[in-house]
């Protein structure tokens, strides 16, 4: 039995391919693994707060030294960290906004990337503490960024691979729906390709 954490970061409830495809994956995962537990966090419906000076101060204050306000301030971050720590599998719906992640997904990452908690500094430099997890990232983009002349603009998959890896999550698979602004046939083609990937991944 595995714990699955399902993160949605699209601001759209309808018409979002990252939501649609990640939801299809979760449904097929549940069917194939009925004993698994799925925890869903929708960052559009329930956005986490962006970092503030007060939050940063609380993060860097030892738990035993925090005052009541600081202890309250870190509760959200502690909850998000605990969800990731408990997860064996993480599924992220991540549409491309202006060549990168949504601000809500960035805020979530800022809360789970905690020095001394999810990564530590040792003799050989930083070491991620969230190891041994499988991550599936469902992206959607109007253009094609996985290859070709626009690949240099892809700060979505490159950023996520880097920051997840920094935290110790190096087993990351991307399922990319691309060219969705290039007409109906392009959408149909990328959906078919993504669904084939979903079937293959669930069956693996």
Closest CA to 85 of 42, 33, 128: 128
Q: How far apart are CA 202 and CA 197, in angstroms?
A: 9
In this structure, the number of other CB atoms found within 10 A of the CB of residue 53 comes to 7
Q: Of the candidates 126, 130, 122, which has an alpha carbon nearest to the alpha carbon of residue 164? A: 130
Q: Which two tokens stand for residue 30?
A: 């549940």
CA angle 169, 204, 96 (to 5 degrees): 50
* 98 labeled part of a ligand binding site: yes
Residue 23, exposed/middle/buried by CB under 10 A (0-12, 13-18, 19+)? middle
Distances (CA, A) of 95 to 64, 71, 120, 168: 39, 33, 30, 23
Q: Was 197 annotated as part of a binding site?
A: no
Dihedral sign computed on CA atoms, order 85, 6, 193, 18: negative
Per the annotation, does 99 bind a ligand? yes
Quote helix, strand, coil % in the chain, to nearest 5. Answer: 45, 20, 35
10 is in an annotated binding site: yes
Question: Residues within the annotated binding site for FMN?
Answer: 10, 16-18, 96-99
Question: Residues within the annotated binding site?
Answer: 10, 16-18, 96-99
């Amino acid at each position: 039995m595995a714990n699955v954490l399902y993160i949605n970061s699209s601001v759209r409830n309808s018409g979002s391919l990252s939501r649609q495809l990640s939801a299809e994956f979760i449904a097929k995962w549940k069917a194939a693994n009925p004993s698994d537990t799925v925890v869903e966090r929708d960052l559009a419906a329930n956005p986490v707060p962006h970092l503030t000076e007060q939050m940063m101060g609380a993060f860097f204050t030892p738990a035993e030294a925090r005052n009541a306000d600081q202890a309250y301030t870190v509760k959200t971050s502690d909850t998000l960290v605990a969800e990731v720590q408990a997860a064996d599998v993480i599924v992220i719906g991540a549409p491309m906004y202006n060549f990168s992640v949504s601000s809500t997904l960035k805020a979530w990452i800022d809360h789970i990337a905690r020095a001394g908690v999810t990564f530590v500094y040792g003799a050989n430099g930083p070491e991620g503490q969230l190891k041994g997890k499988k991550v599936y990232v469902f992206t959607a983009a109007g253009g094609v960024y996985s290859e070709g002349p626009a690949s240099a603009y892809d700060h979505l998959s490159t950023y996520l691979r880097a920051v997840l890896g920094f935290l110790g999550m190096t087993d990351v698979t991307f399922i990319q729906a691309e060219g969705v602004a290039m007409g109906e046939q392009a959408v149909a083609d990328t959906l078919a390709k993504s669904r084939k990937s979903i079937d293959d991944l669930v069956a693996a």
